């Protein structure tokens, strides 16, 4: 959790929310950047133009980025189009090269955030610099590792911090390239309310078809911006060809999003909301009361089990409970995932109560 008072809000970003981080996965040539930037500029003049210069690829001998030469291209794009420009840094040498070239914004990639040694080395290289830094979530679903990386960079004196939700590597990512695990993004936002959080929709979806649904979810969760990989000719892209969109496609996607505000301005709607919310509060009180009653019975059972030297865990009984509740949940339109998570948690608490009874 980051609570240093030197953390600003998002006023250092230009333009209105949601912030727009558009541009190709990788810088491939000056012409490719320029053609892409021309298409983006037509519709999104406040873009923060992204392009990877050093590309962390799974295997060697694939395109690993154009290296330092690309920094100069990015600066030229900024001068010509008036965009802020941003790229990924993965080592102190990358940070130094970017600071020297005058890049506007840096981001730390998912493969770097997993490693506190690397993040600390980058933080040390940033000491004394005044540049915004965004930290992507680590590959593994660990929110404290993500917050910890933000904290390391903030401690180096970087006040303009941001975070990027780019999805996680779970046992089953389908249908996504990286599972969004929205609950973890919500957890990060709740733990770090002062850090602007944007979503890298492209690395979650892995394909343009899923972008509308994922991007809308990002807006519904009141995140601060969207990163969408945009390429003048996605089919010919040297990295992440299958997930990039053209600037024209991006405009179409954008126009179909519904933009929302967290502020409630309409009085009538506010009254309706308050009525419904007080109903929910009453139901929540009953739920907690029922759970407490259920746990009291568990404790009673625990005492009998102890007296009769019977094990606390009765696998067959637990399977029966889960089957019954999944079935009645399904009949009432509650998802299997929800009932299963809920009952695993109830069962765990019940075992704890019986252990201590």
Return residues touching ligand PEP (CB under 6 A).
25, 52, 56, 109-111, 136, 166, 200, 203
Rank residues 56 and 82 by Cβ distance to ligand PEP and give the closer one: 56
Separation in Å, CA 11 to CA 106, 216, 344: 17, 24, 43
Contact (CB, 8 A) for 262 and 219: no
Separation in Å, CA 309 to CA 291, 295, 300, 302, 304: 26, 20, 14, 10, 8
Q: Which stretch binds Mn ion (CB under 5 A): 18-26, 62-70, 150-158, 161-169?
A: 18-26
Site for Mn ion contains 163 (CB under 5 A): no
Rank residues 111 and 347 by Cβ distance to ligand PEP and give the closer one: 111
Site for Mn ion contains 25 (CB under 5 A): yes
Q: Which stretch binds Mn ion (CB under 5 A): 69-77, 233-241, 294-302, 313-321?
A: 233-241
Q: How many residues does the chain have?
A: 357
Close Cβ partners of 320 (under 8 Å, ≥ 6 residues apart) = none
In the complex, the smallest distance separating the C-beta of residue 57 from ligand PEP, rounded to whole angstroms, is: 9
In the complex, the smallest distance separating the C-beta of residue 246 from ligand PEP, rounded to whole angstroms, is: 17
In the complex, the smallest distance separating the C-beta of residue 221 from ligand PEP, rounded to whole angstroms, is: 18
Site for Mn ion contains 121 (CB under 5 A): no
Rank residues 147 and 178 by Cβ distance to ligand PEP and give the closer one: 178
Looking at the DSSP bridge assignments, the partners of residue 86 are 50, 105
In the complex, the smallest distance separating the C-beta of residue 115 from ligand PEP, rounded to whole angstroms, is: 12
In angstroms, rounded to a whole number, what is the distance separating the alpha carbons of residues 236 and 29? 12
84 binds, among ligand PEP, Mn ion, none (CB under 5 to 8 A by kind): none
How is the chain split among helix, strand and coil, in percent rounded to 5?
Answer: 50, 10, 35
In the complex, the smallest distance separating the C-beta of residue 229 from Mn ion, rounded to whole angstroms, is: 6
Close Cβ partners of 243 (under 8 Å, ≥ 6 residues apart) = 25, 177, 202, 203, 205, 206, 207, 208, 229
In the complex, the smallest distance separating the C-beta of residue 66 from Mn ion, rounded to whole angstroms, is: 14
In angstroms, rounded to a whole number, what is the distance separating the alpha carbons of residues 282 and 30? 61
In angstroms, rounded to a whole number, what is the distance separating the alpha carbons of residues 33 and 353? 61
110 binds, among ligand PEP, Mn ion, none (CB under 5 to 8 A by kind): ligand PEP
Number of helices (H) and strands (E), helices first, in the chain?
A: 13, 8
In the complex, the smallest distance separating the C-beta of residue 110 from ligand PEP, rounded to whole angstroms, is: 4
136 binds, among Mn ion, ligand PEP, none (CB under 5 to 8 A by kind): ligand PEP
Q: Which stretch binds Mn ion (CB under 5 A): 83-91, 188-196, 212-220, 236-244?
A: 236-244
Site for Mn ion contains 88 (CB under 5 A): no
In the complex, the smallest distance separating the C-beta of residue 350 from ligand PEP, rounded to whole angstroms, is: 40
Rank residues 117 and 333 by Cβ distance to ligand PEP and give the closer one: 117
Residue located via tokens 């911090």: 161
Contact (CB, 8 A) for 167 and 136: no
In angstroms, rounded to a whole number, what is the distance separating the alpha carbons of residues 215 and 327? 33
67 binds, among ligand PEP, Mn ion, none (CB under 5 to 8 A by kind): none
Rank residues 56 and 209 by Cβ distance to ligand PEP and give the closer one: 56
Q: Which of 122, 240, 298, 353 binds Mn ion (CB under 5 A)?
A: 240
H helices of 44-68, in order, are none
In angstroms, rounded to a whole number, what is the distance separating the alpha carbons of residues 81 and 106? 19
How many whole angstroms from its chain centre is CA 13? Answer: 19
Site for Mn ion contains 211 (CB under 5 A): no
Rank residues 70 and 109 by Cβ distance to ligand PEP and give the closer one: 109
In the complex, the smallest distance separating the C-beta of residue 215 from Mn ion, rounded to whole angstroms, is: 16
Ranked by CB distance to ligand PEP, the top (closest) residue is 109
Residues forming the site for Mn ion (CB under 5 A): 25, 240
């Amino acid at each position: 959790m980051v609570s240093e008072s030197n953390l600003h809000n998002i006023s250092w970003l230009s333009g209105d929310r949601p912030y727009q981080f558009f541009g190709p996965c990788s810088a491939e040539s000056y012409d490719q950047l320029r053609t892409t930037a021309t298409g983006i500029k037509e519709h999104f003049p406040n873009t923060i133009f992204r392009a990877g210069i050093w590309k962390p690829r799974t295997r060697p001998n694939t395109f690993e980025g154009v290296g330092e030469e690309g920094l100069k291209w990015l600066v030229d794009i900024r001068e010509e189009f008036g965009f802020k420009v941003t790229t990924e840094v993965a080592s102190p040498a990358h940070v130094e090269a970017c600071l020297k070239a005058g890049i506007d914004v840096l981001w730390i990639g998912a493969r770097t955030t997993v490693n506190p040694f690397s993040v600390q080395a980058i933080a040390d290289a940033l000491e004394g610099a005044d540049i915004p830094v965004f930290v992507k979530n680590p590959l593994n679903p660990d929110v404290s590792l993500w917050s910890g990386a933000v904290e390391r960079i903030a401690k180096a004196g970087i006040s303009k911090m941001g975070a990027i939700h780019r999805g996680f590597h779970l046992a089953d990512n389908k249908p996504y390239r990286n599972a969004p695990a929205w609950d973890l993004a919500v957890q990060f936002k709740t733990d770090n309310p002062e850090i602007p959080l944007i979503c890298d929709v492209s690395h979650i979806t892995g394909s343009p078809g899923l972008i509308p649904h994922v991007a809308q979810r990002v807006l519904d969760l009141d995140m601060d911006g969207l990163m969408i990989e945009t390429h003048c000719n996605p089919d010919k892209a040297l990295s992440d060809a299958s997930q990039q969109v053209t600037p024209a496609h991006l405009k179409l996607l954008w126009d179909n999003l519904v933009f929302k505000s967290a502020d409630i301005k309409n009085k009538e709607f506010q009254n309706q909301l308050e009525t419904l919310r007080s109903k929910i509060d009453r139901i929540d009180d009953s739920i907690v009361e029922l759970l407490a009653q259920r746990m009291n019975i568990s404790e009673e059972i625990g005492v009998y089990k102890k007296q009769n030297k019977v094990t606390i865990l009765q696998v067959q009984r637990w399977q029966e409970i889960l089957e019954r509740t999944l079935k009645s949940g399904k009949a009432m339109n509650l998802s299997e995932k929800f009932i299963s998570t809920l009952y695993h948690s109830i069962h765990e608490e019940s075992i704890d109560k019986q252990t201590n009874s």
